[in-house]
Structure 1
């Protein structure tokens, strides 16, 4: 295998970016971007006019579910399916208005159930 072969994540990102449905959701619901560092993946969402208390992040198998609640109803939702399971990953979420960042460790680090809520930490600048 040569070094020019794309990783599974690179192939997934390319497909996500070229999917016209993703572009429509970015414009009509809220924008979602995915980044990779040496130690983690970062899913970033732009949540304009939202407070930390309105945002809920849930993990389920290979998906992050980002919801914005208004008046106890789900107002907006994006589901980000990743090319790897989220089970046993250390996942942290940070909100600095209007940006929500969800950091997913590349290493297996915890024993979590298949579905769980992520605590969102607010960062004041």
Structure 2
């Protein structure tokens, strides 16, 4: 990957338009009810994604960065037939070129996507505490 893609600042107007379209999409509401709920917030420095996964311990949750997407998965391995719940959030920019970290507390996964700090430029898992 070239250094140019790592250093490009986010186009804030495009990001605002994308956020509006994402939350007005009926599929978003459907997935909130059938898989698990996701909320997004924006600060000056970060985009924050919250996934409500109260019935899962952190050991059953994964966060994976793949090109322009953040994929959050939870597997209930306690039942006879393990159940996978998954949400994929696709951004209008490459998330692998951004610094990303996550926390997990009280059943909520918080994923912090930096607007300014560069990431490795590779598909990767984000470690939960």
TM range (shorter): 0.7 to 0.9
Q: Which has the higher contact order (CA 8 A, sep 6+)?
A: 2
TM-score by length of 2: 0.82
Query: What are the within-5 Å matches in structure 2 for residues 114-125 of structure 1?
Result: 115-121=123-129
Aligned position for 1:57: 63
8 A Cα contact 2:96 2:120, kept in partner: yes
Answer 1 or 2: which has greater strand percent: 1
Aligned position for 2:3: none
1:68 aligns with 2:92: no
> After TM superposition, which residue ranges in structure 1, 4 or more long, deviate above 3 angstroms?
none
Q: Which of the numbers 33, 37, 42 marks the counterpart of 1:31?
A: 37
Show structure 1 runs of 5+ residues with no match.
1-5
Answer 1 or 2: which has greater helix percent: 2
Q: Which of the numbers 96, 109, 113 marks the counterpart of 1:104?
A: 113
SS, match of residue 30 in structure 2: helix
Show structure 2 runs of 5+ residues with no match.
1-11
Give, in whole Å, the separation in 2 of the partners of 1:29 and 1:101.
17
Give, in whole Å, the separation in 1 of the partners of 2:124 and 2:67.
10
8 A Cα contact 2:56 2:76, kept in partner: no
Aligned position for 2:87: 78
RMSD of the TM alignment (CA)? 1.6
Once the two structures are TM-superposed, the CA of residue 109 in structure 1 deviates from its matched residue by 2.2
